């Protein structure tokens, strides 16, 4: 791409002089846009005679984008984009309306949000409030919607087919003739109230609302955007305002045809899509005279700017909800909505977030030890750009927020002094173009929803590129933003750690609670808090202080802090230069995979030729490469005892990138060593500290397009590198060098960083801050999966963990055994280069000095994590770990056993119905909580059915009864009442999910690599599922499968329930009589009540979830088999598949030759190709604070999962 000349005087991406005011520019843009719309509408006037409106093809799209796009304006002014994807099996539709919370009337905060929810509550043509949700569920689909400041976006998706047009018509009728069902109003308001209760617990959301509360009271920015039961029901009724009438008035005034933007997505021809959209949306007319008000003029709110001159400079102290203190620096910047062609925020974000050595974030985290995390957040609207610099503070940082801000302002002064770096701007332009050209597709729903939102603010020609490309670099626009980063244009919020004493937080300041959020805070002038500090910053900014002068002043401030004994590096942050090494003229030689059209093999038709095993025999070229990278210290490379490395050229999708995945797993005997909490802590800290060491050293390569990860856990070490060929080669070399230096302690973790991470982990484990249901799910998983621990178990060993033991974790716990290698190289690379890359990678990793090279015949890799098999039902009763949280949580899980082809298909079909049924009954009808989720999931190779409810309406014992009613009555009745047509629809929608093609190279890599780790021959899994699905002709199979799971005749269900109770005390478990009354009240059938009574009396009840409890359960019930079923015929057992082991080369860089085992000792393992990842794993494996167990990334047959 040719470099564009940067015009320093160009005002923005629009060709107007910069001297014009924002209001004038908006007016000019409006009239130009109106003229264009009139012309297009006039050209399409033939619509009145039956012809379709004139459509314009959108041709400015990424090079990798194989979809087709067109734009048209219907006669009524609705703007439409149609998207054709020949490979999709989905249909999606979306509508964006130029109306949001900024348009809320003063007396009804949240009305726009209420309108969004009520719109889905039935229509004149389709009156059933649950009709649309049920229709989508039956067709494997879902709906979504959100209300933003100035737009509201609705979207839906479903499997393609004959009913697709009806699905889209149901969606369109919401905008043609919504019923706004009065009987649904109260329930919807309750739902919004629950949503607000959830938002209150979100620390980011509540902090932003706190800072917006300091805005001009007349400004729309400081409104209560969500609404709740008080603002939407109680207060209006008290004031004599009718919410129902206001709702209808709001819809008529804002949901106008000329403010609607429609997107359709399917495999149908564009003309056919436009014809359908015209028929369904073309008759919507203006409902109110307000619709004649130009949208752009309606959005201005110019008379009520959020932060007038002189209104900022505040310092807010608040009592936070997180274990770590945070510092938020909020800057109010000019709106950049019109600057999409110059993208000045991309430049500003780059220089602020740059994480290389000596950067702002590294100085704050590593050099002075004030922060553990650094991020930049923005929130854009026509009111301006709200930019937030957010620091998570260390204990030292909590006491010296002024020093942290001094460092930030010294950096801002350097940015201003240096001016806009044109070379950096151009490199950002080139990188944006490269990434945009080769970005993968998004799915149908996301594509439709994203395009609809963009249509509300971008010109037609820029719909696909406007949020990504830098087409007209504009130095003036960037400079304007940088010069707005001043003390007079900033407010600051300090959030003390959760649980801090209020007196210590507020002192003599007047504490108040934030309306609607309850956040306790006090406000003072920044200058009163830190006398003279703003004068210092202004001096740095206005007098263009040099880097040396700024550094000297910072050292003066540091010396005032007695707790800082030594600064680890320069204290003055470095401003980054241009990105070096942005790939040019990328070769596309090996970009395309070999496509195979086989009607009998859907998997190969969708994903192309399967990877083939590489011959890893060393060649002369390999020797040269090995010894050119060998070390003088005679370090020993890894003792790889078994290997299977696969390669495939190119992608089915379109990408010139290369992907390398390597997994090194130790071959162990089952009794090698018990995995203890101390090991878990070492892995946690090792990954955190390794990432912290790697990030700044790899920054220049990741900036140029490389991505990497190193994941070390009890399973082994996983390396992943992706990028364009030249960058991947450099990234691999650098990554290995840094990995070795860290493991061998040639790069030493500083004491400050280690102690900060240790303290951070302790605080995370001691304090719960996420949604409480996530901890309940984690507790369930802890009791079923090995090598997981409770927060208390981890806390007991954190303090005794040494820096030395952490840094040697990989060598001590992984590289101390012979290793099995599983590898996959895919993409734009030849086979020889792929083989050489793997060879160099493996010979470049330094192993431990004490490795037993002998392979014991019983040593093996654990491919599938064993799941505890419960001998009787289990119930866990605990207090909600979130202090002062009023929510109860109930998680009921029924374990279905080892997944088979049959269960994957039958439960997969049922899964499509579960969420809709549970949500309709528990959320919509019973109003039990905003969080209601149900479905089929996976833990390792074991299926489960579960339902999650978080809310305040009923306690967990009563909620459990309501969930059992859904399982026993609602779902059972639905399956019994299925018509043949409905059953056929369910089958077809599930079939479409199995036949959906990959969207990106990431999908393709995961498709092959995830099952490769399992050691079973499962590439035919998708085909086997389709065969069984086609053979499943009787709907009675679904009912039989569900009944055998929920009403087993021979035994109790494999059932585990986790209950969290709000408040300080956990009530005693109900008696059988009390429980029976709850079941009856909930509507549980008498036959199911008998089963529940029997289970009640045999249930093991625990007051905690720990590894000790899990050990007890395992001792009583044992484990499920670790077999993986990939066909309807019995598959080879894991032990049998492991018998086919291949001894391979052990390479040592200090030898003169490679030691290769004789040919007679090598056994081939052709055809042991594992399955694809199928829809979903179980809940994410991670560590969360307090009640979340430690989760290693255990081997898991996640390809069997359901979404």
Quick check: 976 pLDDT over 80?
yes
Per-residue pLDDT at 299:
52
Q: What is the dihedral of CA 417, 422, 428, 432, to 10 degrees?
A: 140
Short-list 908, 918, 943, 906, CA closest to 1038? 906
Quick check: 14 pLDDT over 50?
no
- Which has more pLDDT, 300 or 111? 111
Per-residue pLDDT at 302:
56
Contact 182, 107 (CB under 8 A): no
Quick check: 325 pLDDT over 90?
yes
Q: Identify the band that residue 201 occupies on the pLDDT scale cut at 50, 70 and 90.
A: confident
Per-residue pLDDT at 598:
76
Q: Identify the band that residue 568 occupies on the pLDDT scale cut at 50, 70 and 90.
A: confident
Quick check: 165 pLDDT over 70?
yes
pLDDT (mean) for 710-714: 94
- Provide the CA 1041 distance to its chain's centre, in angstroms: 33
Side-chain half-sphere of 651: how many Cα atoms within 13 Å? 25
Side-chain half-sphere of 1062: how many Cα atoms within 13 Å? 12
Per-residue pLDDT at 1010:
87
Per-residue pLDDT at 286:
80
Per-residue pLDDT at 622:
56
pLDDT (mean) for 257-278: 97
Short-list 277, 283, 279, CA closest to 91? 277
Q: Identify the band that residue 1175 occupies on the pLDDT scale cut at 50, 70 and 90.
A: very low
Quick check: 1158 pLDDT over 50?
no
Contact 1086, 770 (CB under 8 A): no
Quick check: 1155 pLDDT over 50?
no
Quick check: 370 pLDDT over 90?
yes
pLDDT (mean) for 243-263: 95
pLDDT (mean) for 375-393: 96
Lowest-pLDDT range of 175-189, 520-534, 843-857: 843-857
Q: Which domains does the chain have, with CATH numbers?
A: 55-299 (3.30.830.10), 314-441+462-560 (3.30.830.10), 602-844 (3.30.830.10), 867-1120 (3.30.830.10)
Per-residue pLDDT at 51:
84
Element (H, E) at 413: helix 401-418
User: In the β-sheet with 90-97, what is the strand arrangement from edge to edge?
Assistant: 55-57, 68-73, 79-84, 260-266, 90-97, 152-159, 142-147
Cα 1034 from Cα 1024, distance rounded (Å):
18
Short-list 12, 746, 772, CA closest to 337? 12
* SS3 label, residue 576: coil
Per-residue pLDDT at 1034:
87
Per-residue model confidence as pLDDT tens digits over 74-95? 999 999 999 999 999 999 999 9
* SS3 label, residue 92: strand
Per-residue model confidence as pLDDT tens digits over 1048-1091? 987 889 999 999 999 999 999 999 999 999 999 999 999 999 99
Q: Identify the band that residue 544 occupies on the pLDDT scale cut at 50, 70 and 90.
A: confident
Lowest-pLDDT range of 509-518, 632-641, 923-932, 1131-1140: 1131-1140
Quick check: 916 pLDDT over 60?
yes
pLDDT (mean) for 503-523: 94
CA distances from 438 to 265, 656, 661 (A): 21, 7, 20
Per-residue pLDDT at 287:
82
Lowest-pLDDT range of 138-147, 561-570, 1075-1084, 1176-1185: 1176-1185
Per-residue model confidence as pLDDT tens digits over 1017-1053? 788 899 999 999 999 878 999 999 999 999 998 788 9
Q: Identify the band that residue 136 occupies on the pLDDT scale cut at 50, 70 and 90.
A: very high
- Return the ∠ at Cα 33 (arms to 27 and 37), rounded to 5°: 145
For residue 450, give both structure tokens. 């994203």
Quick check: 715 pLDDT over 50?
yes
pLDDT (mean) for 1079-1107: 96
Q: Identify the band that residue 1100 occupies on the pLDDT scale cut at 50, 70 and 90.
A: very high
Cβ-based neighbours of 183, under 8 Å, separated by 6 or more:
none
Per-residue pLDDT at 1140:
37
Quick check: 1164 pLDDT over 60?
no
Q: What percent of the chain has pLDDT over 90?
A: 72
- Return the ∠ at Cα 730 (arms to 727 and 736), rounded to 5°: 130
For residue 1139, give both structure tokens. 């018998």
Quick check: 857 pLDDT over 80?
no
Quick check: 1185 pLDDT over 80?
no
Q: Identify the band that residue 856 occupies on the pLDDT scale cut at 50, 70 and 90.
A: low
Average pLDDT, the chain: 86
Element (H, E) at 393: strand 384-393
Quick check: 573 pLDDT over 70?
yes
Q: What percent of the chain has pLDDT over 70?
A: 86
Per-residue pLDDT at 1016:
72
Cα 244 from Cα 259, distance rounded (Å):
22
For residue 793, give both structure tokens. 């178990």
pLDDT (mean) for 137-164: 93
Q: What is the dihedral of CA 1039, 1045, 1051, 1057, to 10 degrees?
A: -140
Per-residue model confidence as pLDDT tens digits over 446-489? 999 999 999 999 999 999 999 999 999 999 999 999 999 999 99
Quick check: 1153 pLDDT over 70?
no
Quick check: 791 pLDDT over 90?
yes
Q: Identify the band that residue 629 occupies on the pLDDT scale cut at 50, 70 and 90.
A: low
Per-residue pLDDT at 69:
98
- Which has more pLDDT, 171 or 585? 171
Cα 941 from Cα 283, distance rounded (Å):
52
Contact 509, 381 (CB under 8 A): no
- Which has more pLDDT, 146 or 1183? 146
Per-residue model confidence as pLDDT tens digits over 583-608? 988 999 999 999 887 778 899 999 99
pLDDT (mean) for 502-520: 94
pLDDT (mean) for 813-840: 92
Per-residue pLDDT at 50:
64
For residue 1127, give both structure tokens. 């066909």
């Amino acid at each position: 791409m040719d470099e564009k000349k940067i015009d320093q005087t160009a005002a923005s991406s629009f060709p107007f002089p910069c001297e014009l005011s924002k209001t004038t520019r908006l007016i000019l843009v409006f009239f130009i846009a109106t003229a264009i719309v009139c012309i297009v509408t006039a050209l399409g006037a033939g619509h009145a005679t039956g012809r379709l409106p004139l459509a314009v093809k959108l041709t400015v799209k990424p090079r990798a984008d194989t979809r087709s796009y067109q734009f048209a304006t219907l006669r009524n002014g609705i703007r439409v984009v149609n998207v054709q994807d020949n490979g999709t099996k989905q249909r999606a539709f979306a509508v964006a309306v130029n109306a949001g919370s900024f348009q809320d009337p003063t007396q009804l905060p949240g009305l726009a949000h209420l309108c969004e929810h009520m719109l889905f509550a039935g229509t004149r043509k389709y009156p059933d409030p649950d009709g649309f949700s049920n229709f989508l569920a039956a067709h494997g689909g879902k709906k979504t919607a959100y209300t933003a400041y100035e737009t509201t976006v609705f979207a839906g998706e479903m499997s393609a087919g004959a009913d697709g047009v009806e699905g889209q018509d149901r969606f369109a009728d919401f905008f043609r003739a919504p019923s706004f069902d009065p009987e649904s109003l109260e329930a919807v308001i309750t739902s919004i109230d629950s949503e607000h209760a959830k938002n209150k617990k979100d620390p980011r959301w509540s902090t932003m609302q706190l800072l917006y509360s300091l805005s001009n009271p007349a400004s729309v920015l400081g409104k209560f955007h969500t609404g709740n039961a008080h603002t939407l029901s109680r207060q209006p009724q008290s004031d004599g305002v009718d919410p129902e009438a206001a709702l209808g008035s709001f819809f008529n005034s804002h949901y106008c045809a000329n403010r609607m933007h429609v997107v359709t997505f399917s495999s149908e021809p564009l003309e056919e899509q436009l014809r359908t959209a015209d028929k369904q949306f073309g008759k919507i007319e203006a409902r109110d005279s307000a619709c004649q008000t130009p949208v752009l003029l309606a959005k201005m709110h110019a008379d009520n700017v959020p932060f007038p001159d002189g209104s900022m400079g505040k310092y807010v102290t608040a009592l936070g909800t997180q274990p770590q203190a945070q510092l938020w620096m909020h800057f109010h910047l000019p709106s950049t909505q019109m600057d999409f062609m110059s993208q000045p925020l991309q430049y500003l974000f780059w220089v602020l977030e740059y994480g290389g050595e000596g950067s702002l974030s590294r100085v704050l985290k590593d050099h002075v030890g004030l922060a553990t995390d650094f991020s930049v957040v923005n929130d854009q609207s026509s009111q301006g750009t709200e930019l937030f610099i957010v620091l998570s503070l260390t204990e030292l940082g909590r006491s010296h927020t002024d020093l942290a801000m001094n460092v930030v302002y010294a950096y801002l002064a350097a940015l201003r002094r240096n001016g806009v770096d044109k070379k950096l701007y151009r490199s950002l332009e080139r990188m944006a173009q490269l990434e945009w050209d080769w970005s993968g597709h998004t799915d149908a729903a996301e594509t439709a929803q994203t395009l609809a939102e963009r249509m509300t603010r971008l010109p037609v020609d820029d719909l696909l590129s406007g949020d990504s490309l830098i087409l007209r670099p504009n130095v003036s626009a960037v400079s304007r933003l940088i010069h707005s980063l001043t003390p007079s244009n900033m407010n600051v919020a300090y959030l003390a750690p959760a649980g801090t004493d209020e007196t210590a937080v507020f002192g003599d300041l007047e504490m108040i609670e934030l309306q609607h959020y309850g956040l306790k805070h006090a406000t003072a002038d920044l200058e009163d808090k830190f006398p003279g500090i703003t004068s210092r910053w202004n001096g740095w900014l206005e007098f263009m202080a040099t880097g040396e002068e700024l550094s000297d002043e910072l050292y003066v401030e540091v010396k005032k802090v007695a707790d800082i004994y030594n600064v680890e590096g320069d204290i003055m942050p470095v401003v980054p230069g241009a990105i070096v090494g942005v790939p040019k003229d990328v070769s596309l030689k090996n970009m395309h995979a070999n496509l195979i059209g086989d009607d009998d093999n859907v998997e190969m038709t969708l994903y192309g030729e399967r990877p083939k095993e590489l011959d890893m025999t060393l060649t002369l070229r390999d020797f040269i490469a090995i010894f050119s990278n060998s070390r003088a210290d005679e370090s020993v490379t890894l003792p790889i005892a078994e290997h299977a490395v696969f390669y495939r050229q190119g992608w089915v999708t379109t990408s010139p990138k290369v992907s390398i995945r390597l997994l090194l797993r130790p071959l162990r005997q089952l009794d090698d060593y018990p995995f203890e909490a101390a090991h878990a802590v070492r892995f946690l800290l090792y990954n955190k500290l390794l990432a912290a060491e790697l990030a700044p050293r790899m920054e220049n390569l990741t900036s140029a397009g490389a991505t990497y990860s190193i994941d070390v856990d009890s399973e082994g070490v996983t390396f992943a590198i992706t990028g364009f060929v030249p960058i991947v080669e450099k990234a691999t070399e650098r990554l290995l060098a840094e990995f070795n230096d860290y493991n061998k302690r040639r790069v030493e973790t500083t004491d400050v960083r280690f102690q900060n991470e240790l303290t951070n982990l302790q605080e995370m484990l001691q304090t719960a801050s996420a949604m409480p249901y996530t901890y309940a799910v984690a507790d369930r998983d802890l009791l079923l999966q090995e090598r997981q621990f409770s927060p208390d178990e981890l806390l007991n060993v954190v303090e005794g963990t040494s820096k030395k033991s952490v840094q040697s974790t990989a060598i001590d716990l992984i590289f101390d055994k012979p290793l099995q290698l599983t590898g996959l190289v895919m993409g734009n690379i030849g086979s020889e280069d792929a083989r050489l890359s793997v060879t160099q990678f493996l010979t470049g990793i330094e192993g431990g000095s004490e490795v037993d090279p002998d392979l014991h015949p019983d040593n093996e890799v654990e491919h599938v994590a064993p799941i505890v098999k419960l001998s009787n039902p289990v119930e866990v009763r605990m207090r909600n770990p979130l202090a002062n949280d009023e929510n109860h949580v109930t998680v009921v899980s029924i374990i279905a056993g080892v997944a088979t082809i049959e269960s994957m298909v039958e439960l997969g079909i049922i899964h499509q119905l579960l969420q809709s049924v549970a949500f309709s009954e528990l959320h919509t009808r019973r109003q039990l909580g905003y969080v209601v989720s149900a479905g089929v999931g996976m833990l390792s190779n074991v299926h489960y059915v579960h339902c999650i409810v978080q809310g305040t309406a009923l306690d967990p014992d009563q909620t459990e009864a309501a969930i059992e009613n859904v399982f026993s009555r609602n779902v059972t009745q639905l399956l019994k009442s299925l018509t043949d047509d409905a059953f056929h629809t369910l089958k077809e929608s599930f079939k479409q999910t199995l036949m959906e093609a990959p969207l990106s190279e990431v999908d393709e890599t995961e498709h092959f690599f995830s099952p490769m780790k399992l050691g079973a021959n499962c590439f035919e899994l998708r085909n086997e599922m389709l065969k069984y699905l086609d053979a499943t002709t009787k709907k009675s199979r679904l009912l039989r499968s569900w009944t055998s799971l929920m009403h087993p005749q021979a035994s109790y269900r494999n059932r585990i329930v986790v209950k969290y109770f709000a408040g300080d005390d956990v009530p005693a478990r109900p008696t059988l009589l009390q429980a029976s009354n709850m079941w009856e009240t909930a509507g549980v059938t008498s036959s199911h009540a008998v089963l529940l009574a029997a289970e009640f009396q045999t249930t093991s009840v625990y007051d905690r979830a720990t590894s000790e409890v899990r050990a007890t359960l395992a001792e009583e019930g044992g484990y499920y088999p670790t077999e993986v079923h990939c066909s309807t015929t019995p598959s080879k057992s894991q032990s049998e598949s492991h018998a086919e082991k291949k001894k391979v080369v052990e390479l040592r860089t200090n030898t003169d030759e490679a030691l290769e085992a004789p040919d007679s000792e090598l056994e081939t393992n052709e055809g042991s190709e594992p399955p694809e990842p199928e829809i979903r794993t179980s809940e994410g494996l991670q560590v969360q604070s307090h009640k979340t167990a430690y989760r290693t990334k255990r081997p898991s047959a996640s390809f069997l999962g359901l979404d």
